[in-house]
Amino acid sequence: MIVILKKNAEQQQVELFDNWLHSMGLETHKSIGENHTIVGLVGDTSRVDIESIMALDIVETVKRIQEPYKNANRKFHEQDTVITLSNGAKIGGGHFLVMAGPCSVETEEQIISVAQAVKAAGAEVLRGGAFKPRTSPYAFQGLHEEGIRLLLKAREATGLPIVTEIMDAKHLPLFEDIDIIQVGARNMQNFELLKDLGKLRKPVLIKRGMANTLQELLMSAEYVMAGGNDQVILCERGIRTFETATRNTMDLSVIPVLHQFTHLPVVVDPSHATGRWELVAPMALAGAACGADGLMIEVHNDPEHALCDGPQSLRPEKFASMMEKVRAIRPYADRSFTTGEGALG
Amino acid sequence: MIVILKKNAEQQQVELFDNWLHSMGLETHKSIGENHTIVGLVGDTSRVDIESIMALDIVETVKRIQEPYKNANRKFHEQDTVITLSNGAKIGGGHFLVMAGPCSVETEEQIISVAQAVKAAGAEVLRGGAFKPRTSPYAFQGLHEEGIRLLLKAREATGLPIVTEIMDAKHLPLFEDIDIIQVGARNMQNFELLKDLGKLRKPVLIKRGMANTLQELLMSAEYVMAGGNDQVILCERGIRTFETATRNTMDLSVIPVLHQFTHLPVVVDPSHATGRWELVAPMALAGAACGADGLMIEVHNDPEHALCDGPQSLRPEKFASMMEKVRAIRPYADRSFTTGEGALG
Amino acid sequence: MIVILKKNAEQQQVELFDNWLHSMGLETHKSIGENHTIVGLVGDTSRVDIESIMALDIVETVKRIQEPYKNANRKFHEQDTVITLSNGAKIGGGHFLVMAGPCSVETEEQIISVAQAVKAAGAEVLRGGAFKPRTSPYAFQGLHEEGIRLLLKAREATGLPIVTEIMDAKHLPLFEDIDIIQVGARNMQNFELLKDLGKLRKPVLIKRGMANTLQELLMSAEYVMAGGNDQVILCERGIRTFETATRNTMDLSVIPVLHQFTHLPVVVDPSHATGRWELVAPMALAGAACGADGLMIEVHNDPEHALCDGPQSLRPEKFASMMEKVRAIRPYADRSFTTGEGALG
Amino acid sequence: MIVILKKNAEQQQVELFDNWLHSMGLETHKSIGENHTIVGLVGDTSRVDIESIMALDIVETVKRIQEPYKNANRKFHEQDTVITLSNGAKIGGGHFLVMAGPCSVETEEQIISVAQAVKAAGAEVLRGGAFKPRTSPYAFQGLHEEGIRLLLKAREATGLPIVTEIMDAKHLPLFEDIDIIQVGARNMQNFELLKDLGKLRKPVLIKRGMANTLQELLMSAEYVMAGGNDQVILCERGIRTFETATRNTMDLSVIPVLHQFTHLPVVVDPSHATGRWELVAPMALAGAACGADGLMIEVHNDPEHALCDGPQSLRPEKFASMMEKVRAIRPYADRSFTTGEGALG
């Protein structure tokens, strides 16, 4: 951490500041210039509150050098995290994982038939929503408990592990048998929920919020990991920009950047990022090419009658043809920042 | 709602679509052009799911004309909502309300002394955080239950009603005696929490999320109001943009636009929007000038030692001088879209 | 175009409006609802000024259905545009074109050596800046006339056609022998320059501005095409968002979306989009995977001593290894919206 | 400037780097930590190219402390710049200036009648467009030479100085008698044009680009000032964000921030920022309240028949009533960062 002191900072206050930093176990190095004094803080600054320092009268500005996350930081954990699921599927360290299924669970027949279809095409995890965050209180909100029950039925029928979204910590008991718990974009900074998920010992998939920086995404992972749960998967699903031709702007450059910053696996969700099924395959291929560790894809056997997000769902046959191309591209993907070898499935 | 059909839409499918719409009590009017057929939907379309229609094969695009919110809509509730607090203070309909206090409650002495100072300067509500949403799991997270207790002590001492933030519905019992419950920007679309707040019969202040549109803010208000709680206050606190000279970009044009769309009172929080105390007074005055119904201001007796957000807190004397200017400007504020008369306090 | 009239629009004014529309050769279809009257305009509305209509007292809102561009519109020109260069290289219609070279032309030795290196690796066009748009008036602004001369020398030496940026129409005489004239992101809406380029009969490459929508990009292409020059190449090079981990946010979903809207070829420039050489290869592969018609890549033999943009330049050997992967991925690229067959080079 | 060296930077390369910096007249101070070495650069770093340093292998990151602009920097020019026009009107240093008039000049009668109306209401400069930047090549592009002639006629008739936009340096001869030359948002980084304007000795008004940071705006001012022309006025007219309820997002917090960074006067243009006449008065008042040095307002005697931007134009009587409120608010405006006294007109 670097602190720039004001030109006219009082000597006495500077000494008090020095003493305070030393009391936290930090060393200080000063460079005194004509217009500014630069103080370099040496030691573990990850727990120093940058705002407290910025509030001091003698301080002009503060810049953090060391990242404020530790558990999620590749600097302190060089090897890629690899997560293994009940069916033996793996993600991270060169293992590529595809999660697919409908936006919402609707009926037993629907979820089982989609599960079979995506499994046949190569998906290794079934996705499906039981609790749906909807902008409107008047829109379909999901089947809730019944939806979870149907997902578990589909697991029974196909062997596919389940990923599904939680919207409130009070529903945690319902998620006991779920394989991967998803935190949606709107809850990425629901810190109370993240703390509760940190107490579990099962994979948590965190979607990046629509206005959240990569550092904030990593800090949300850090909330879960600080609780002792180190099975975290990150997911890019588009950010809010001025462009309206797509629902969100899919920020694919986060894939290599996240691989540089963290050892956690990173997947992309082109269905939510673009909001239009025609764009799902091109963006899934692009995600694979730049080194994503997996995909999350909406597939529906009858998108025209889906109870939500129909326009962004692929039919099973389109999904299957996309999967073939993904497999072809994966061996050539750029994974310069990861430590794992490339591998599909 | 207007639906544009594709050029080559099959006649039979168009008829099925027509029948489906009629079955929902909607009338349809068609304009058949060379390249498109335009279908106008007449009737109550607020509960029609735009996504279901967009998923149909025969549909090129859909545009909503009628707003998807009803309870919060000025079209259906022309008069400004006026909310009255325990000390007789009012907001809305021309009543201007200032809420002020520290970011975090720290000690009994601190909160009472700040409460007395802001009351003396003209604030009518005390703000203070007991539960603090912090990006880092390692940062101070608030005094929780003890913080609520200290806020209530400060109310006892000064008579000022309390506004404080809730982070999870499980803490609701602690908020029983709180006057205004605040939903923070990061929880604006925590729909489960909003539903629980809809069951209460006390004021809820909803802050706009950093990447949320005005329509989404109104839909979050609608979640609370759909539950029967119509005491909702909206708050602008800055949005995320590319500009880094301020923490967020304070979007003041939302004030007149929201007054046009809704009858609910709207306040601005320049402390969080700008992140720097020097910008708080100018932006508070700007907010008052363009017709805000109130302000939310961070005031701390000792910003240099504040446990959070020190850099954005005003000292009490700065706050007092800002309040004088606010009072001078208020009578000339532009409130063209509201039905209330201008009044301060 | 659809016009929504206000509930209480005066009948007489509505008739005047009708007559005015008819006088422009448009037919109108009305749907009269309880709250709104919807007027559908049928005919060629591409030259109707949406703002004039919006200013009318009787109008609540206007929505455009037909795109405001014609020459660039795939609806009116279904076949992919294919552009052929002096060395026989092609772009569009399934032909993939790689343009590479240094940010700035520095010396004869430098530009020729880089040209030879990129040609050896498979690039078919040499890029290099003679006029450099720099944020600071104190930064190196390019070699200007001398830079153009050196580029032409490199063409002589290698046979590679040249693409280079123009910053002002007054420099056009210097560009007479240049093969592709580039309009930079900051000049995307320099309409006077675009009009002048419309008078030429040589390829123009237009980079998307950092805050410009796809429709605005297409309208800028339309400026050139309206002048009779139909050899336009579009280029995505990143947009401005709140994220600061990369210089810009590379918006790759524009590739399939542009292919849907227009028949013009689309390339991506990952060097400027990301600002960091480590991200160039992953993002180039991603661009190829989602169907781009080409790449624009900065390559420098000595990035540490480059006079500008060194941090985003690849060394020739990295470029060569990237090109191999691009060639491997191209056959599997998703090009669902284009009419051409996939082909590399 | 602060340079963070990599952990494993070679000693020999560090020495070469040191020597290079010293050769530019800079002193270096080093703080050697466990993970990083921090190098503080002391001296005039405004002409050091941050990119060249970032490209070095031994460098992890570079952070600028000193601003890269000098002429526009309040640190080197503490007193507010005051600009005086031919009619004695002043802007800056506490002088408030209102510029008003139609978007486009249409006819002699129109421009003179609007000029008389805005003068009567208190405007001291007439605005009007002769060259209009239009997104569509098919839209009305302004009267060009004839428009300039009509503006000068209106000046003759009313004594009001003229501000009008230039779109290309080749038109400069037509602007010889114009009082203030405006650079539009789309040309803010048309550096060739800025250089040409730097050779003049008359006021230049630069509008902030829709995706440009404050620092970039100041660098564009620096381009003009580096040429010796120090009469620069800055203008905020809204930035591009995800919000679509207004045309742009008016970023009013730039007013106090710019006053802190620069001595140049700053005005706001609520007409272009919001795109809707109903929002112009509230946002003009807000701009005045937070300390703007002036306003730029579109006024049209017949907005319904305006040839461009009708929806954002005020009628003269609305403008007059807005001006009364502006005059009432101005004495209470917050101008903490400026050195001038508050004054209207």
Sort out which chain B residues have CB atoms less than 8 A from D243's CB and list them.
213-214, 239, 251, 254
Residue C339 DSSP SS3: coil
pLDDT at C34: 65
pLDDT at D345: 39
What confidence tens digit (pLDDT) does each residue in B307-320 have? 667 788 999 999 99
Sort out which chain B residues have CB atoms less than 8 A from D337's CB and list them.
278
Sort out which chain B residues have CB atoms less than 8 A from C30's CB and list them.
29, 31
How many angstroms away from the CA of B27 is the closest CA of chain C? 9
CB contact under 8 A, A2 and D63: yes
Sort out which chain C residues have CB atoms less than 8 A from D55's CB and list them.
303-304, 306, 310-311, 313
How many angstroms away from the CA of B3 is the closest CA of chain A? 15
What confidence tens digit (pLDDT) does each residue in A32-78 have? 766 677 787 877 777 777 777 877 878 888 887 778 899 999 989 99
Q: What is the chain D residue with the closest CA to C222?
A: D137
CB contact under 8 A, A252 and C256: no
Which of B183, B192, B242 to probe the A interface (max A CBs under 10 A)?
B192
pLDDT at A309 over 90: no
How many angstroms away from the CA of C146 is the closest CA of chain A? 36
Sort out which chain B residues have CB atoms less than 8 A from C59's CB and list them.
none
Residue in D140, D190, D303 closest to C55 by CB: D303
What confidence tens digit (pLDDT) does each residue in A136-192 have? 898 889 999 999 999 999 999 999 999 999 999 999 999 999 999 999 999 999 999
**pTM across the whole model:** 0.93
Query: What confidence category does residue B298 fall into, taking pLDDT thresholds of 50, 70 and 90?
Result: very high
Residue D312 DSSP SS3: helix
CB contact under 8 A, C290 and A274: no
pLDDT at B280: 96
Choose among C173, C156, C175, C177: nearest CA to C165. Answer: C175
CB contact under 8 A, C255 and A334: no
Q: What is the chain C residue with the closest CA to D48?
A: C139
Q: What is the chain A residue with the closest CA to C241?
A: A241
Q: What is the chain D residue with the closest CA to A6?
A: D65
Q: What is the chain D residue with the closest CA to B287?
A: D286
pLDDT at A315 over 80: yes
Sort out which chain D residues have CB atoms less than 8 A from C170's CB and list them.
169-170, 192
Please check whether residue B312 is in contact with residue B276, taking contact to mean a CB–CB distance below 8 angstroms.
yes
CB contact under 8 A, B55 and A138: no
Q: What is the chain C residue with the closest CA to B6?
A: C65
CB contact under 8 A, B57 and A136: no
Residue in D52, D55, D189 closest to C186 by CB: D189
Choose among D151, C212, D254, A193: nearest CA to B170. Answer: A193
pLDDT at A342: 45
Sort out which chain D residues have CB atoms less than 8 A from C55's CB and list them.
303-304, 306, 310-311, 313
Q: CA-CA distance, C191 to C210, in Å (whole number)?
A: 16
pLDDT at A20: 81
pLDDT at A338: 81
pLDDT at A345 over 70: no
Which of A217, A243, A259, A321 to probe the C interface (max C CBs under 10 A)?
A243
Sort out which chain D residues have CB atoms less than 8 A from A31's CB and list them.
29-31, 40, 42
What confidence tens digit (pLDDT) does each residue in A8-32 have? 788 888 888 888 888 878 888 777 7
Choose among A140, A158, A137: nearest CA to A104. Answer: A140
Residue in D250, D273, D286 closest to B289 by CB: D286
Structure tokens at C219: 């309208």
SS3 string of chain B? Answer: CEEEECCCCCHHHHHHHHHHHHHCCCEEEEEECCCCEEEEEECCCCCCCHHHHHCCCCEEEEECCCCCCCCCEHHHCCCCCCEECCCCCEEECCEEEEEEECCECCCHHHHHHHHHHHHHHCCCEEECECCCCCCCCCCCCCCCHHHHHHHHHHHHHHCCCEEEEECCHHHHHHHCCCCEEEECHHHCCCHHHHHHHHCCCCCEEEECCCCCCHHHHHHHHHHHHHCCCCCEEEEECCECCCCCCCCCECECCHHHHHHHHECCCEEECHHHHHCCHHHHHHHHHHHHHCCCCEEEEEECCCHHHCCCCHHHCECHHHHHHHHHHHHHHHHHCCCCCCCCCCEEC
What confidence tens digit (pLDDT) does each residue in C111-131 have? 999 999 999 999 999 999 999
Query: What confidence category does residue B342 fall into, taking pLDDT thresholds of 50, 70 and 90?
Result: very low
Which residues of A lie closer than 8 Å to C, measured between beta carbons?
A: 211, 213-215, 239, 241-246, 249-257, 260, 273-274, 278-279, 281-283, 285-291, 322, 325, 328-329, 331-334, 336-337
Residues of chain C with pLDDT under 50: 342-345
Sort out which chain B residues have CB atoms less than 8 A from A195's CB and list them.
137
CB contact under 8 A, A282 and C239: no
In the DSSP assignment, the letter for residue D242 is S
Section A305-333 average pLDDT? 90
Inter-chain Cβ pairs, chain B and chain C, closer than 8 A: 55
Which residues of D lie closer than 8 Å to B, measured between beta carbons?
A: 211, 213-215, 239, 241-246, 249-257, 260, 273-274, 278-279, 281-283, 285-291, 322, 325, 328-329, 331-334, 336-337
Contacts for D161 with CB less than 8 Å, ≥ 6 apart:
D85, D86, D87, D89, D124, D125, D126, D155, D179, D180
CB contact under 8 A, D211 and C240: yes
pLDDT at B34 over 70: no
pLDDT at A289 over 50: yes
Sort out which chain A residues have CB atoms less than 8 A from B307's CB and list them.
52
pLDDT at C234: 98
pLDDT at C343: 46
pLDDT at A343 over 70: no
CB contact under 8 A, A310 and B51: yes
Could you give the domains of chain A?
A: 2-63 (3.30.70.1140), 74-344 (3.20.20.70)
pLDDT at D337: 81
Q: What is the chain A residue with the closest CA to D38?
A: A40
What confidence tens digit (pLDDT) does each residue in B70-88 have? 999 998 899 999 999 999 9
Residues of chain D with pLDDT under 70: 33-35, 307, 340-345
Sort out which chain A residues have CB atoms less than 8 A from D242's CB and list them.
240-242
How many angstroms away from the CA of D249 is the closest CA of chain C? 13
Give the chains touching D; criterion: ≥3 Cβ pairs < 8 Å.
A, B, C
Report the share of chain C in percent with pLDDT over 70: 96
How many angstroms away from the CA of D240 is the closest CA of chain A? 6
Section A244-272 average pLDDT? 96
CB contact under 8 A, B42 and C33: yes
CB contact under 8 A, D219 and C136: yes
